[in-house]
Amino acid sequence: MPPAAPMFPSLRLDRVSIALGGRRLLDVDALVPPGAVLTVMGPSGSGKSTLLALIAGFLDPAFSASGAARLGDEDLLASPPERRGAGLIFQDPLLFPHMSVGQNLLFALPPTVSGRAARRAAADAMLARVDLAGFFDRDPATLSGGQGQRAALARTLLAEPRLLLLDEPFNGLDQALRGTVRALVVSLVAERRIPAILVTHDPADAEAAGGRVLSIGAEAAR
Ligand SMILES: Nc1ncnc2c1ncn2[C@@H]1O[C@H](COP(=O)(O)OP(=O)(O)OP(=O)(O)O)[C@@H](O)[C@H]1O
């Protein structure tokens, strides 16, 4: 019998290569253990967001790519995007403005959590975990930058992602808030034991996230 797949798999980028119009944009190998954050750094235009788009499954057709992004034994790049289980966080929280914060969370909650009371309890517990207890009925337009990002984190994690991809998620935040929200990200990723990739320009983010850094951009400079 083959060995059982690990419950908390690593993410392995195996010779991932992306090209644009015949020009090689990046070429990377990396291992992200469960619960760890890999920080991706590099100059503007080096392909950091494109790498996340490839893994999540929304790479613009202008690019071509090869290699594998293995979550355990599964190559995510060969799986349909809707089965990859990637949770995404961008600079903008992207909450639906016509729904309350709580409704935004319920939208993401899988149907396996059934029953109105159980769903509400799951949303409330997640809000409390990101220090937004009591925010269920709030209009997203009334949230501060830090509150919005914490609500976005709550929504994304409620969907039970198998990996987390964050594209400059702290950019709109001042220095103190940046520290708070990134500490929350690091602890939630560790708690969930999922691998995460964080795109950032700030070396302090990399340090706070454990110092595991993938630098890209050398290819473009060649
Ligand atoms: N849809 C597209 N079609 C053609 N070229 C694109 C497209 N999207 C991005 N690019 C180009 O691909 C390169 C990589 O872009 P990408 O957004 O991944 O860089 P980045 O490292 O995330 O940059 P930044 O730090 O400025 O966000 C850039 O040169 C960009 O101009």
What ipTM did this prediction achieve? 0.96
The response to whether residue 47 sits with its C-beta less than 6 Å from ligand 1 reads yes
For the ranges 16-25, 70-79, 89-98, 212-221, the lowest mean pLDDT is seen at 212-221
**Ligand 1, pocket-test mutation among 49, 167, 197, most atoms within 8 A of CB:** 49
Task: State how far the alpha carbon of 20 is from the alpha carbons of 12, 16, 25, 50, in Å.
Answer: 23, 14, 7, 10
What's residue 3's pLDDT? Answer: 63
Confidence of residue 207 (pLDDT cuts 50, 70, 90): very high
Query: What count of other Cβ atoms lies within 10 Å of the Cβ of residue 114?
Result: 9
What's residue 218's pLDDT? Answer: 60
**What is this structure's pTM?**
0.94
Which residue, 59, 45, 52, is CA-closest to 221? 45
The response to whether residue 61 sits with its C-beta less than 6 Å from ligand 1 reads no
Tens digit of each residue's pLDDT (9 = 90 or more) over 152-187: 999 999 999 999 999 999 998 988 899 999 999 999
Residue nearest to atom 11 of ligand 1 (CA): 45
What are the residue boundaries of the structural domains of the chain, listed by start? 7-85+161-222, 96-159
What's residue 110's pLDDT? Answer: 95
What's residue 1's pLDDT? Answer: 65
What's residue 6's pLDDT? Answer: 72
Give the distance (Å) from ligand 1 centre to CA of residue 25.
9
Tens digit of each residue's pLDDT (9 = 90 or more) over 94-140: 999 999 999 999 999 999 999 999 999 999 999 999 999 999 999 99
Query: What count of other Cβ atoms lies within 10 Å of the Cβ of residue 7?
Result: 8
Confidence of residue 22 (pLDDT cuts 50, 70, 90): confident
Q: Average pLDDT in the 198-206 region?
A: 95
Phi, psi at residue 31, to the nearest 5°?
-125, 125
> Tokens in use for 104?
């935004």
Q: Average pLDDT in the 18-27 region?
A: 94
Confidence of residue 221 (pLDDT cuts 50, 70, 90): very low
What's residue 220's pLDDT? Answer: 47
Distance CA 39, CA 215 (A): 8
CB contact set of 111 (below 8 Å; sequence gap of 6+): none
Give the distance (Å) from ligand 1 centre to CA of residue 154.
28
Domain 7-85+161-222 has CATH 2.40.30.10: no
**Ligand 1, pocket-test mutation among 16, 20, 55, 215, most atoms within 8 A of CB:** 20
Tens digit of each residue's pLDDT (9 = 90 or more) over 52-84: 999 999 999 999 999 999 999 999 999 999 999
What's residue 42's pLDDT? Answer: 96
